[in-house]
Chain A
Amino acid sequence: MLSPGTTAQADPPAPVVPLPRRRGIEFTLIVVAVLLSVYGYCDVGIARTGSVPPGAVGYGAGLGVLALLAHLAVRLRAPNADPLLLPIGVLLNGLGLVLIYRLDLETPDDPAAPTQLVWSTLGMGLFIAVVVLLRDHRVLQRYTYVSVVSALVLLVLPIFFPSVNGARIWVRVAGFSIQPGEFAKVLLAVFFAGYLAANRNALAYTGRRVWRLQLPTGRVLGPIVAIWLLSVGVLVLERDLGTSLLFFGLFVILLYVATGRTGWIAVGLLLAACGAVAVGWLEPHVHSRVEDWLHPFASIEAGLGPNQLAQSLFSFAAGGMLGTGLGLGHSVLIGFAAKSDFILATAGEELGLAGLSAIFLLYGLLVERGYRAGLALRDPFGRLLAVGLASIVALQVFVIAGGVTGLIPLTGMAMPFLAQGGSSVVTNWIIVALLMRLSDSARGRSGTAQAEEAGGSERAKGIEGIEGIQGAEGGVAP
């Protein structure tokens, strides 16, 4: 007996027609993305000074060359990859540079766009490197435990460096600030995917059964819970609440996808609620964030002027439906985090609800394409990795966008690609590169990647066998 939507339909018979590769579409979309970014850049200049900013040609050429190089790498090494992922990355990154450049005009003493351009270059360089060098994503499964050790080292590292603005999440080397927690996201996703792919049956079907809940054995569950607790604990120590929330969500989602046990979600939500209430009450930093969320205008009523969240809400409100136009808003009133955590407020004010929705939909499309790759893939590791990476983007966007729009308490996080922050841009390019690789494998299966499949068919059969067992029992257990 097969549960609906599992292997029966996802495993087509022998390929007949190769999927269209759609590299031409990708090229066209990249050109559009670059042109949109250059247009935004020029628009800011015209709105502010009445003339096209002098760097427009250089900016457009730089972004265009980088995007084309990335495109060439994809044509060469991942010809079947999803054609939407790269253009979305280019557009969001380009738009982010425009927004940061726009805010730089308000803070001439503290320009951030040039640095961001350097980091973007590095990020796209790493994108190319990953696409070129990583021929098969399954290689990563071998590094499951290397990943988790590196992730933990990266997470612990900032403890030895001074805190910045209340959070101890930066490492300063030679004038550059790096946020190791950003890179740890990818490594942790690799670890979760690798570990769960290897142990998911044990997690789902072994251990004692208490009432209707099938508990896994401690030997299997223990290590992953320990790793997860450790990372969240470290992050709480470092006051990086956004990232700890992200890891928590990632863990619960992957556990659910791997085991299909709704119980995990219930337990996860229960734990999250307890943790959130405890931290919210006991930890003053978090407590003030929660207070700000509940009463964003309390500081105004107290005569202290609007706080960052209130300024952010003012920004969004000022944008209205169509926005003030690039360069014509006043989101700089938000203060020091305007270019990083609150970059979305600038988008909301100057591009309006229309522009903001477009940005949200771009993220939504990015996430959806990641999930689609996960659905099309055969190996559990690949599937979990794709879901994990896409979920990282989704959760991160939700946590920070929900925070700056007053939907949930604010936790400092970087809007993927948009926000100022080198580690963030680099990490997100790596995430997109991995998703490209995963989607290339997923879509390539049906057509050109047969040679690869010939070698891996044994293994694929084995995997499908497990899938079959799961399908058979899955109808009863959950």
Chain B
Amino acid sequence: MTRYIRHAAAFCALLLLALLVNATRIQLVQARSYDENPANRRHTIARYGQPRGDILVGGKPVTGSKDSGQQFRYERTYKNGPLYAPVTGFASQVYGTNLLEGAEDDILAGTDPLLSPLPLWNDLTRARNPGGHVVTTLDPAAQRAAYEGLGDRRGAVAALEPSTGRILALVSTPSYNPEELSGTDSAVAQAWTRLNQAADKPMLNRAVRQTYPPGSTFKVVTAAAALDAGVVEDVDEPTKSPDPYRLPGSSVRLTNEVEGCADASLRYAFAWSCNTVFAKLGVNVGVAGMRAAAAGFGFNERQLRVPFRVSPSTFDTRVDQAQLALSSIGQYNTRATPLQMAMVAGAVANNGSVRTPHLVERTTTDDGDTVSATGQRTLRQAMNPATAVQLRGLMTDVVERGTGKNAAIPGATVGGKSGTAQHGVHNSGTPYAWFISWAKADDAVEPGVAVAVVVEDAEADRGDISGGGDAAPIARDVMGAVLGR
């Protein structure tokens, strides 16, 4: 019997060996493919297993983390959530991330290899780095001024520093509290549904993701094109433009809201926003010239990231002469984000060159060591420096004696341009009020801020809406906050 017992024992040893070999196969040989299976929740659990790094505004975190004790352990918290939501976006266990939370996710979640002190070290130890921090370029005072200026109205504000492209304020109203989307309980799903179905779209980032017809604020672009192309050589010479202006190749007659536009000078037409003059200038510059000028400011740019994606602003280039005339006064298919219009104002302020707008000053490790810093990059030269000087004069006139008096700041030079954009079928929608401007403190070498404000107030009486009336005071408060006045 002994022999057979030995055989049976050998059989059991064989079973044991099979188990060991198979365990090695799963745990070592095939482990990676199992780990990377998208249905394996361990990545997500690990990702929320440590507190996220913070997003800093003015040196102070506007985000936080709290331990929920759940499977997806750390939930995101926000200080002044609605104020900074158009910048931070949300970080949700269920719905993912967006805006800065999404664009800088690797840093914040601690997965960016740059956070490791030693390359490949984490591959060996399987450890995760603590989340890094994202230092924004925002000016908290400007952000708050913009948010409070918009108040209950729908609209957006984008402000930047013309010489660097640093974004100083990015506000969209109505806003929402991204903290509502943190966590996994049913309240999160309810908030998600409610926010997505709300008529006034609180989760839409109007400053960078919504394009509006820029209306008369686009006349800055048209003026730059006309001056650069030599169509206008002296801003005080008459422009030989009729009032009303019959759009070429059609019977449509374009009129003005103000008097004195017939044969007006560029300075007068700019200050009082004569549609006829700018429509004719656009046609005189031609499609190619207008397209080049618009592109110089950043229109039709599809790749812009700040670091999250910015919706492209458009200037339609397949147009006939009548459409070109309308496009040149910011109507027809011309559309722009508030950030784009802030870039237009910024280009004028910065001697004609457009700096790439950016929202992240630098990213740091948990300890504050810099991981990467955003360098200044010139996007492109939008106009000749001499043209920029002339346009600064025109824009200053608007604030000093034209439609933008509400934007004036004592102790500072302010240039601006108002706009009221028609939209909807037969222009039936409530018009959007625009104001774009820049400001230079009297004791400063160069303009410190450029801003674009759009107010889409559906409840106001149509006649009351105007860029100078509704949007200019907000622009003034934002610029005043940046300049400290």
Encode contact with A along B1-18: 1 for CB under 8 Å, 0 otherwise: 111111111011101101
Chain A stretch 370-400: residues in CB contact (< 8 A) with chain B? 371, 374-375, 380, 383, 387, 390-391, 394-395, 397-398
- Interchain CB contact under 8 A, A394 and B15: yes
Contact of B18 among A371, A398, A470 (CB under 8 A): A398
- Interchain CB contact under 8 A, A330 and B27: no
**CB nearest to B18 among chain A residues:** A407
* B186 contacts partner chain A, Cβ-Cβ < 8 Å: no
At the interface with chain B, which of A178-186, A218-226, A317-325? A317-325
- Interchain CB contact under 8 A, A467 and B35: no
Distance (whole angstroms) from the CB of B438 to the closest CB of chain A = 54
- Residue numbers in A under 8 Å from B31 (CB-CB): 316-318, 320
* B20 contacts partner chain A, Cβ-Cβ < 8 Å: yes
- Residue numbers in A under 8 Å from B18 (CB-CB): 398, 402, 407
* B34 contacts partner chain A, Cβ-Cβ < 8 Å: yes
- Interchain CB contact under 8 A, B27 and A352: yes
A368 to B33, CA, bound (A): 35
- Interchain CB contact under 8 A, A398 and B15: yes
* A360 contacts partner chain B, Cβ-Cβ < 8 Å: yes
Contact of B5 among A375, A405, A407 (CB under 8 A): A375
- Interchain CB contact under 8 A, B26 and A405: yes
- Interchain CB contact under 8 A, A371 and B27: no
A391 to B24, CA, bound (A): 24
* B22 contacts partner chain A, Cβ-Cβ < 8 Å: yes
At the interface with chain A, which of B40-48, B196-204, B310-318, B346-354? B40-48
Given A364-B13, A394-B15, does the pair A348, B1 have CB atoms closer than 8 Å? no
Contact of B1 among A253, A258, A314, A401 (CB under 8 A): A258
Contact residues of B: prevailing secondary structure: helix
- Interchain CB contact under 8 A, B19 and A407: yes
- Which of A10, A253, A258, A363 has its CB near the most chain B CB atoms (within 10 A)? A253
A313 to B2, CA, bound (A): 39
- Interchain CB contact under 8 A, B22 and A470: no
- Interchain CB contact under 8 A, B22 and A253: no
Given A256-B8, A360-B19, A394-B15, does the pair A348, B27 have CB atoms closer than 8 Å? yes
- Interchain CB contact under 8 A, A257 and B19: no
* A232 contacts partner chain B, Cβ-Cβ < 8 Å: no
Contact of A257 among B8, B42, B126 (CB under 8 A): B8
Chain A stretch 429-449: residues in CB contact (< 8 A) with chain B? none
Distance (whole angstroms) from the CB of A177 to the closest CB of chain B = 28
* A357 contacts partner chain B, Cβ-Cβ < 8 Å: yes
* B458 contacts partner chain A, Cβ-Cβ < 8 Å: no
- Which of B12, B16, B22 has its CB near the most chain A CB atoms (within 10 A)? B12
Given A330-B45, A357-B20, does the pair A367, B12 have CB atoms closer than 8 Å? yes
- Which of B9, B30, B34, B38 has its CB near the most chain A CB atoms (within 10 A)? B9
**CB nearest to B30 among chain A residues:** A317
- Interchain CB contact under 8 A, A333 and B41: yes
- Interchain CB contact under 8 A, B1 and A383: yes
A314 to B31, CA, bound (A): 8
- Interchain CB contact under 8 A, B34 and A317: yes
Contact of A368 among B9, B30, B34 (CB under 8 A): B9
- Interchain CB contact under 8 A, A260 and B1: yes
A352 to B126, CA, bound (A): 13
**CB nearest to B11 among chain A residues:** A253
Distance (whole angstroms) from the CB of A470 to the closest CB of chain B = 7
- Interchain CB contact under 8 A, A5 and B2: yes
* A305 contacts partner chain B, Cβ-Cβ < 8 Å: yes
Encode contact with A along B33-65: 1 for CB under 8 Å, 0 otherwise: 111011111100100000000000000000000
- Interchain CB contact under 8 A, A318 and B42: yes
* A39 contacts partner chain B, Cβ-Cβ < 8 Å: no
Can you list 26 contacts pairing A with B, beta carbon distance less than 8 Å? A256-B8, A260-B3, A297-B39, A316-B23, A316-B26, A317-B26, A317-B33, A318-B34, A320-B27, A320-B31, A321-B28, A330-B42, A333-B42, A348-B27, A352-B27, A363-B16, A364-B16, A367-B12, A387-B5, A391-B8, A394-B12, A395-B15, A397-B15, A398-B19, A401-B19, A407-B22
Name A's B-contacting residues (CB within 8 A). Answer: 3-7, 10, 253, 256-258, 260, 297, 300, 305-306, 310, 313-314, 316-321, 324, 330, 333, 348, 352-353, 356-357, 360-361, 363-364, 367-368, 371, 374-375, 380, 383, 387, 390-391, 394-395, 397-398, 401-402, 405-407, 467, 470
Beyond the given pairs A256-B7, A314-B34, A470-B1, 8 more chain A to chain B contacts, judged by CB atoms under 8 angstroms and listed by A's residue number, are A256-B4, A258-B4, A300-B38, A317-B26, A317-B30, A330-B45, A360-B19, A375-B6
